[in-house]
A = this chain, B = another copy of it.
Amino acid sequence: MFFASDNCGPAHPEIMRAMSNANKGHMPSYGADNLMEEVRTKIRTLFEAPDADVHLVATGTAANALALSSICRPWQTVFCTPMSHINTDECHAPEFFTGGSKLTLVGNRDKMNPSELHRKMERLLQGDVHLSQRGPLALTQVTEMGSVYSLDELAALTSIAGSFDLPTYLDGARFSNAIAALNCTPAEMSWKSGIDVISMGGTKNGCIGVEAIILFDPSMSWEFELRRKRAAHLFSKHRYLSAQMLAYLENDLWLTSARQANALAARLVEGLRTVAGCRIVVEPQANIVFARLPRATHRRLHEKGAVYGLFEGPLNHGDPDELLLSRLVCDWSISEECIDRFIAMANGQD
């Protein structure tokens, strides 16, 4: 019973098979493998973007930091939410890769509010050399709280950035879960919604460690290559990144796995609603659930070995009825039985 993160699950058997298949003979290194050519073609087709530039890296933080550094100068500030991964979980990687940019926090929690975005951008007067200069808009889809921007919401936000002539980045660590939730096309959720650069995460959705970065403006390609290399994120045995991504793209594995994870999370939420005292914090739209449960319930779950994020405490003393915030994430590999057992345990029936 492991709901700590979707990066705790195993890789999908198809991914492992692809790794084995790729493990034959010699192949040119540093991205010159044939598999990468196939990846590029498939992603361009999937995104209906025949000129798009595609690069692979192995971590989500690398995808974010490299993408941002490509569209943000050191004296510019990135507009993002306070809970965004780039603000809270990357130990200053964006600041390091950009050479000292700032993050301007918009909104309180979860989704960014268009009117506040407009206000923050407008208030940052330009032409004054003392101030931060306006930089890119960075969104996360699925958000860190588990909700999903609608296409209209995305378009509203990116059009504000556009009105200030600013580029946009979408952190798609859970891109697939968002597509599954919105039931739209990758093109619709990216360039058709005004996104300039996007990451399409594989790691959290059944891969070992691979993220695609897609630049819809291919003129940035060579600079991106140089940035990736000098950040030590160009793999010599690149074929193993290509192989993962290729298998992920084939037969819609990316989408099937994401649908599976989302469905599991929906089942979990349904179950949680039956647990006494449970409060769902943000209505989950993908595979992340934030729920408050009574301390006594958490204690029972922990004693039975359930693993998940608990943000308030202490667990072991205090009012047993007090609600403590927790975060539960489903990856594709979790079984329905596991979820049902977790709910049963929460309900004291196990």
Contacts and interface: CB of A to CB of B under 8 A. Distances in A.
A95 interface: yes
B16 A29 contact: no
As for how many copies of this chain the complex holds, the number is 4
A97 B208 CA distance: 26
A16 B4 CA distance: 27
Interface stretch (A127-135, A147-155, A251-259): A127-135
A203 B234 CA distance: 13
Interface string A199-234: 000011000110000000000000101111111111
A99 interface: yes
Contacts of A2: 25-26
A130 to B, nearest CB: 4
A4 B29 CA distance: 9
B132 A89 contact: no
Contacts of A16: 19-20, 23
Range of interface residues on A (Cβ < 8 Å): 35 or more
A29 B10 contact: no
A295 interface: no
A131 B350 CA distance: 37
A7 to B, nearest CB: 4
A36 B103 CA distance: 34
B96 A74 contact: yes
B236 A93 contact: no
Interface in A260-316: 307
B93 A229 contact: yes
A131 B226 CA distance: 9
A90 B130 contact: yes
Nearest to A24: B10
A89 B131 contact: yes
Nearest to A126: B222
A189 interface: no
A325 interface: no
Nearest to A13: B23
Contacts of A93: 229-232
A74 B59 contact: no
A298 to B, nearest CB: 19
Interface in A1-28: 2, 4-5, 7-11, 16, 19-20, 23-28
Interface string A57-74: 111111011100000011
26 contacts: A4-B26, A4-B28, A8-B26, A10-B23, A10-B25, A19-B19, A26-B333, A58-B235, A59-B234, A59-B236, A75-B226, A89-B131, A91-B129, A91-B229, A91-B230, A95-B100, A95-B101, A99-B100, A100-B100, A102-B103, A130-B229, A204-B236, A209-B235, A209-B236, A209-B237, A231-B231
Interface of A: 2, 4-5, 7-11, 16, 19-20, 23-30, 57-62, 64-66, 73-75, 88-93, 95-97, 99-103, 129-133, 203-204, 208-209, 223, 225-237, 240, 307, 333
Which 6 pairs of residues, A with B, have the shortest CB-CB distance? A2-B26, A95-B100, A7-B236, A62-B232, A61-B232, A91-B229
Given A26-B307, A64-B232, A91-B131, 16 more contacts: A4-B26, A7-B29, A8-B26, A16-B19, A59-B232, A59-B233, A66-B232, A75-B91, A75-B226, A88-B130, A88-B131, A92-B101, A92-B102, A208-B237, A231-B231, A232-B233
